[in-house]
Chains A and B, each alone.
Chain A
Amino acid sequence: MTREPHLHRDGTWVGASVPRREDPRLLTGRGRFVDDIRLPGMLHAAFVRSTEAHARIASVDLSAVREVPGVVAAFSAADLGLHDIVALLDRPLHEFVPTAMPVLAKDKVRFVGEPIAIVVARDPYAAEDGREAAVVEYEPLPPITSDSAALAEGAALVHEEAPRNTLVDVSLFATEGIDEVFAAAHTVVEVRARTGRQNALPLETRGAVAEWDDRDEQLRVHTCTQVPHQVRTVLAASAGLDEKEVRVIVPDMGGGFGLKCVVGREEIATAAAALRLRKPVKWIEDRSEALTASFLAREQRYTVRAAFDADGRIQALDADVVCDMGAYSCYPFTAGIEPLMASAEMPGVYKVPAYRVRGRAVTTNKAPTAPYRGVSRPQYVMVMERVMEKAARALGIDPVELRRRNVITEFPYRGVNDVTYDPGSYKESLDLCEQVLRDEGWFDRRGSDPAIGIGFACFSERTGYGSGAFAQRKMAVVPGFDVSEIRMDLDGTVSVTTGTLSHGQSHETTMAQIVADRLGIPYDKVKIVQGDTDRVLYGWGSFASRSITIGGSAAAASAEKLGERLRVIAAHLMDVDVESTELDGAGGVRAGDRRLSFTEIAEVAYLRSHLLPKDVEPGLSATASFDVGGDGTFSNATHAAVVRLDPGTGGVEILRYVCVEDCGVAINPKVVEGQARGGIAQGIAGALFEEVRYDDAGQPLAASFMEYKVPTAAEIPDVRIEHLETPCAFTANGAKGAGEGGTIGAPAAVLNAVNDALRHTGVELDDTPIPREAIFRALERAAEPALEAR
């Protein structure tokens, strides 16, 4: 470490914003990302990709490719003979239709950019030259480019086995008497909203470097994935290898945000080519592939009604959600990922007594969908927050007050969606967020400037999804637990494995803080081992804000077990009862005024094992796992955006952004704030800027950063963050997840603020990205009568 780390005021590592262990290498250009890996004799791959959105493949001719100088080999699906990737749900056929994703397209292509063949050459330039020489003949089929076209009577089928292009169709909850509640309601509001297709857009694109190693008898694959063990399973099955013959290693990763938490076809094909050629092969996705042919997310359509009583209390919620999942079901989550999340969680922070939802996943001829930070929650929270705003307007109640009347205040709360919410600070966060804006004078400024609008978003986010919660979703492959192995070496330093995988979230630091506290050693004496299927027992990777809640708890448990072992050995050596010993917080075990340092204990465990108690094995290691038994834990937050609209352009300027967040105990507050700010930036991107559009022929319209507008420091405002702390009762340290919340709240807060700023125009906008032109026209029309009056 270059600087003395500082402890938290309680004398613990947890709670302190200690410097990140990751920083020195990343700041000096000495990190190792997948494209930094260079193996002797390494070849380079490029993919021949479909130019058609929907077509039968009549023929694939790679003979000219193989003639291109520098090209070593070219393989089509028939050449490699790999098994398809199939993701399953444990649901009946009328709820879920299983479909296969071939590694390389076989008889049919289903989106522009779909990989058809892999070209391997001596350098990347030659590989690209080679792919240009491929000749693919297509028999075009009608392209399906929207959810409504997919569902239309007689529509062409993207997958023949899925009638009406529907992969998932679930109707859930349907509280008895819900129709009567609507019939008798004082006020019913309706929201129809569409959210645009987005790219999660890690700045590092996908990639893989694969090689067969004869000495290890292993296919070694370095790839930037959030789920290395799942890649191993798919690769082994696809290539017909034993799992022990596959090793997946994850180097430093330039972001993932969910896009890298599914198994991609290209990394499998690259590995298969390396296996076939017995030479190292590298594939690095270029930006245009990343935008058009990786995984996308978030294209959803909501039709929602909500009933309210005269006091503004919500009485019932009726929702229909259609998610355009594109061409394939992703592994391991399936095409159910978005509709099932939205259906299960939509009531959110509000006391909704009656609920009915239909959630559907439709397949279209667009790049497929993977989970993206927040998964559906940015969308349904936005819809729920529009519901609250519309009800407030209809009833003439202040929107914050209306939320106050509806948020859950007593915990644990059993929701209409069969979920038990653990304690949170829903009302407190709302109150504090409003107070901050008031203190900063934003309500006064809004009063004097009609172009200024203020919008709120109040939400919670389930973060500790254990196996129980995933099983409730009826996944056939059920993620949830994490398992951690810890080892103390001779000098008293420890290595701890985690099945989670940091790709920017600082786990090398935060997990070390957790373990350091458990053992009473400095956090830089703790090494976190992750992202290697040979070194990590098993893992589900990092997604759904699960790393600190579940992975952190497993690491804490293994450290505690090791601590017990140290005490048992020390007690034996000091000839005292184990009960009379304790870890002394300074790298040793004490009993009364006697003490043994960890080094002294380790020396016995390894070098003089004949001195160990009879029932204690040599060495110092322990393994422990953690799962969340019940429904998980909920982080929560209230966000507020203050915007000003530009009548000249319809542009939206965010003047202020406030986030009051509660993720339980923050392991490292600076890291939590970083997650919130980064998440908010992505949420703003979805609200105002980013959309992957397709034309009617299914051609993607954004193939570079020229067409896909990623916001910069000029568009993303500074964010004021306030912390509340409602500790979780069943995770180590009381932590709740913090990875996704920022992204979830921002679209709702920004959309509500824009609508508030349109309050004089009579126009309401419910779609994202918010069309600038619609704002412009609304303001223009509102200004017209004033012109006429002159």
Chain B
Amino acid sequence: MIQLIELTVNGERHDLVVEPRRTLVDVLRHDLGLTGTHVGCEHGVCGACTVLVDGAPVRACLVFAVQCEKTDIRTVESLADADGTLSDLQQSFADHHGLQCGFCTPGMLMLAEGFLAEEPDATKEEIRDVVAANLCRCTGYQTIVEAVDACARRRRAARQEVLGRSAS
């Protein structure tokens, strides 16, 4: 059995013919060629496959592509500017050595991106709790937590400045 679906990924619309059992991560990686999203377990524990669905972090190995019609899907490929300039979150990972092999990184980035959008005032401990949702085998996590925390701080400082300017 096959089904015709329409997916919106990183702002782009795609018409696809898929089997209902095809997971979102397989469609992203193998049908759309967005191989930045990785697969580490296929059973919902490692978080390497994390993408944003309507802004919320979702494990793309646990949902079927057919369930994601009429949603806004975002993958790691959407973070940097078109010219390759890294987003503040990506740059923060680089600055803090928050990645080694880089296999967990796209999942960590999307997890953090979704979380910080929801909770811009998160404390470092709250960030640690969220990072604990995904596995990394290389870094020991400390630098990932520091990278996300530093990005959150910088965003808060920028917001303060804007507020300060508009108040004066």
Contacts and interface: CB of A to CB of B under 8 A. Distances in A.
Interface stretch (A29-37, A114-122, A261-269): A29-37
Given A28-B84, A670-B97, A705-B46, A254 B38 contact: yes
B140 A677 contact: yes
Given A19-B94, A710-B135, A31 B43 contact: no
A29 B90 contact: no
Nearest to A683: B140
A630 interface: no
Contacts of B128: 713-714
Nearest to B127: A713
B37 interface: yes
A230 interface: no
Contact of B102 (A27, A257, A718): A27
B101 interface: yes
A651 B48 CA distance: 28
B76 A713 contact: no
Contact of B109 (A17, A27, A202, A706): A27
Contacts of B131: 712-713
Contact of B36 (A29, A205, A253): A29
Contact of A203 (B79, B129, B136, B142): B136
Contacts of A742: 140
Interface string B84-120: 1110001101110101111111100100000000000
B144 interface: yes
Contacts of B134: 712
A28 B137 contact: no
Given A2-B85, A712-B132, A23 B38 contact: no
A273 B148 CA distance: 45
Contacts of B17: none
A36 B35 CA distance: 6
B122 interface: no
B157 interface: no
Interface residues of A, number: 56
B78 to A, nearest CB: 9
A505 interface: yes
Interface string B4-27: 000000000000000101100000
B43 A2 contact: no
B139 interface: yes
A672 to B, nearest CB: 10
A204 interface: yes
Interface in A235-285: 252-255, 257
Contact of B77 (A29, A257, A503, A719): A29
A203 B104 contact: yes
B87 to A, nearest CB: 9
B158 interface: no
A719 B141 CA distance: 10
Contacts of B33: 38
A749 B43 CA distance: 33
A28 B77 contact: yes
A681 B140 contact: yes
Given A287-B42, A714-B128, A29 B35 contact: yes
A29 B30 CA distance: 14
B52 interface: no
Contacts, number: 174
B43 A203 contact: no
Nearest to B107: A203
A712 B135 contact: yes
Contacts of B75: 29
Interface in A149-205: 201-205
Nearest to A704: B43
A27 B93 contact: yes
Contacts of B138: 203, 255, 504, 674, 678
A24 B84 CA distance: 8
Contact of A713 (B19, B86, B137, B141): B141
Given A30-B36, A203-B48, A681 B43 contact: no
B45 A704 contact: yes
Contacts of A29: 34-37, 75-77, 106
A673 interface: yes
B145 interface: yes
A20 B95 CA distance: 9
Contact of B140 (A33, A36, A719): A719
A462 B39 CA distance: 35
A2 B86 contact: yes
A286 B43 CA distance: 10
A22 interface: yes
Contact of A257 (B43, B79, B137): B137
Interface string B63-76: 00000000000011
A233 interface: no
Given A28-B76, A29-B106, A674-B139, A713 B99 contact: no
Contacts of B43: 287, 704-706
A204 B103 CA distance: 7
A504 B101 contact: yes
A254 B100 CA distance: 9
B103 A33 contact: yes
A28 B80 CA distance: 7
Contacts of A316: none
Contacts of A20: 94, 97
A126 B62 CA distance: 19
Nearest to A675: B100
A205 B135 CA distance: 14
Contacts of B76: 27-29
A179 B136 CA distance: 48
Given A2-B86, A505-B100, A712-B135, 17 more contacts: A17-B97, A19-B94, A29-B106, A32-B35, A36-B35, A125-B19, A202-B101, A203-B48, A203-B104, A254-B102, A254-B103, A504-B100, A671-B97, A674-B139, A712-B131, A712-B132, A713-B132
Q: List the 3 closest pairs (A to B, CB-CB), nearest first.
A: A29-B36, A254-B103, A26-B102
16 contacts: A2-B86, A22-B102, A28-B77, A125-B19, A202-B137, A203-B137, A252-B102, A254-B102, A287-B46, A503-B101, A504-B102, A677-B140, A682-B137, A705-B135, A710-B137, A712-B135
Interface of A: 2, 17, 19-20, 22-24, 26-33, 35-36, 38, 125, 201-205, 252-255, 257, 286-287, 503-506, 670-671, 673-674, 677-682, 704-706, 710, 712-714, 716, 718-719, 742
